[in-house]
Amino acid sequence: MTFLAELRYTVRALGKSPVFTLIAILSLALGIGANTAVFTMLDQVLLRLLPARDPQQLAQLSEVGVNYGSNSGLNSLSYPKYKQISEENQVFSGMFARDSLALSVSFGGRNEVALGELVSGTYFDVLGVRPALGRLFTSHEDASRGGAPYAVLAYDYWQTRFAGNPSIIGQQILVNNHKLTVIGVAQRGFDGVEALFATKIFVPLIMAEQLTQEDHPFDNRRRRYLQVFGRLKPGVTLAEAKASLQPIFHRIQEMEVQQKEFAHASPYSREQYLRMTLDVMPGGGGQNEVRRFLEAPLWAMTAMVGLVLLIACANVANLLIARAMARQKEIAIKLAIGASRARIVSQLLLESLLLSLTGGLLALGISVVTLRSLAGILPQMEPPLKWPTTPDLRVLSFTLWFRCSRRWSSA
C-alpha cells in the first residue's frame, strides 16, 4: 500500500469517528494555540536577546542606593559618570550610552512624531550592528558637542516612511526643527535596545543639547538619564566586572560629594550617597522598563497554559486509549488476515500525526487571535508598545512536537 493510499484510509477511518476526531483536534488546537500565544509573549517581553553580536557578552550598569539629584528612566547614569567609567575601566572592550525620546520628524512636507534614540558614537560598534545602507555612527561622532548633525534610520522605518528609497542617504530631514543628514540605515531586524519600544531614528548623543533644548546635559553630574552598556572582555564574568568597577565608582562618589551641588546636603544625604554601589547586570536583553510590571502576570499565565497543556495531553491520551480498546477486534482481524505489526503501528502513528497536524493548523489561527486579544488587554503606553501579534513559529513547532511525542507514546 502506498503512502497516499494509507493516508486516504486514515482519513476515512477518522471520518467514521467524527466525535472522537473533533474532540481530539479541538483539544490539540486549544492547547497548542494558547501555549504558543503566551510563550510567544513571554519570549518577546522577558527572554529574547537583542539582535546583536554575542548579546550574552553585554552588560548593563545601574546605580543602587539613594541618589542625590534627578533621575530619568530605570538604570540610568549621568553623562560625566559614563565617560569616566568608560575611560578608566579594565573589564569592557567597549561601552556605549543611550537615551530614548520622542522626536518630531519632517520630510517631504509630512511631519510626524517618531521614537528616537540619542546614542554615543560607540553604540553600533559595541553592539555589532551593521549598516543595511550607507554607514553608521563611529566614535568620531562624539568629538564635539553639536558637531554631528546626522541621523541613522531603523530598517523598518526606512521601508515604511521612506518607501525603502536608497536615495535618502545624503538627504536632510528636519528633526526637532534641526536639519540632520541621513547617513545610513541600520541592519534589518534591529530597532534599538528597548525591549518593547521600536526605535525609528538614531541620532548622535552629542546632539542632545540642540534637540532637547536642555542646557549643559553633558556637565550635570546630578542628572541621571543615560542607560549605559558595556561588552565584557573575553573571560570576564559579571561578578568580576562588578568587583573591578566598585573602586572607580566609589572614587567618583567621593569626588562628587565635595562639589558645590552638595553644599546644602545633610550629613545623612552625603552618607547615603557614599553608600551607593554600581551593579553590573546582564545586558543582552536590552533596556526593559516594563519588565517589572509584566514579569509576574506573564509567568502566571505561562503556568496556567502549561497546566492546560498537561490536561489536554492527558485528555487526548485517554481518548486514544479508549479508541484503542474499542478497536481491538478490528486490529485482531487485520493480524489474522496477514497484516504485519509494523503496518498496524504505522497506521496508528499516521492517525496521530494527521490529528496533530490538523490541530496545529487550527492552533495557528487560535494563537493569532489570542495574541491580539492579549495585546488589547495589556497596558498601553505612549509611544505604543510593540506587542507581538503573530505567533513565533519556533514556539509553535516546539509545542506541536511536544504534543506529537505525547500522542505517539500513547498510541
The per-residue DSSP string of 285-329 comes to: T-B-TTHHHHHHHHHHHHHHHHHHHHHHHHHHHHHHHHHHHHTHH
**CA-based nearest residue to 6, from 354, 369, 263:** 354
DSSP string, 25-76: HHHHHHHHHHHHHHHHHHIIIIIPPPSSSSGGGEEEEEEES--SSEE-SSSE
Number of domains the chain is built from? 2
Strands, DSSP E only, in 149-272? Answer: 150-153, 172-175, 178-186, 201-204, 223-224, 226-232
Same domain, 218 and 79: yes
pLDDT along the chain (411 residues), means of 10: 73 81 86 84 82 95 92 89 96 96 93 95 97 96 91 97 96 96 96 88 95 84 94 97 97 94 92 95 85 77 83 81 77 75 76 81 85 73 68 68 52 47
According to DSSP, the residues that pair with 102 across neighbouring strands are 115
Same domain, 105 and 171: yes
Helix axes 341-377, 393-410, angle to 10 degrees: 140
How far, in Å, CA of 115 to CA of 384, rounded?
10
Same domain, 8 and 145: no
CA-based torsion, 373, 376, 377, 383: positive or negative? positive
CA-based torsion, 258, 261, 265, 269: positive or negative? negative
Q: Which amino acid is at 313?
A: C
- C-alpha grid cell, residue 3: 503512502
Tens digits of per-residue pLDDT, 187-207? 999 999 987 788 999 999 999
Q: Which residue has the cell 554601589?
A: 277
CB 303 within 8 A of CB 39: no
Cα angle value 347/353/354 (rounded, 5°): 90
Task: Give SS3 for 152.
Answer: strand
How far, in Å, CA of 85 to CA of 226, rounded?
13
CA-to-CA separations, 389 to 123, 132, 162, 400, 404, in angstroms, rounded: 29, 25, 24, 19, 25
How many Cβ atoms are within 10 Å of 390's Cβ, its own excluded? 11
Same domain, 182 and 59: yes
**pLDDT computed for residue 217 by the predictor:** 82
**pLDDT computed for residue 408 by the predictor:** 47
Same domain, 13 and 72: no
**pLDDT computed for residue 244 by the predictor:** 97
**pLDDT computed for residue 311 by the predictor:** 84
Domain hosting residue 260, numbered range: 55-282
Cα 188 versus chain centre, distance: 15
Same domain, 103 and 226: yes
Same domain, 116 and 203: yes
**pLDDT computed for residue 381 by the predictor:** 62
Same domain, 44 and 106: no
Task: Give SS3 for 161.
Answer: helix
Domain boundary among the residues 282, 300, 327 is at 282
Same domain, 42 and 185: no
Can the peptide bond before residue 234 be classed as cis, meaning omega within 30 degrees of 0? no
Task: Give SS3 for 93.
Answer: strand
Query: Model pTM?
Result: 0.79
Same domain, 75 and 33: no
Cα angle value 244/249/250 (rounded, 5°): 105
Same domain, 156 and 262: yes
Domain boundary among the residues 282, 298, 331 is at 282
Domain boundary among the residues 221, 252, 282 is at 282
How far, in Å, CA of 341 to CA of 346, rounded?
9
Same domain, 304 and 276: no
How far, in Å, CA of 207 to CA of 200, rounded?
17
- C-alpha grid cell, residue 160: 515604511
**pLDDT computed for residue 346 by the predictor:** 76
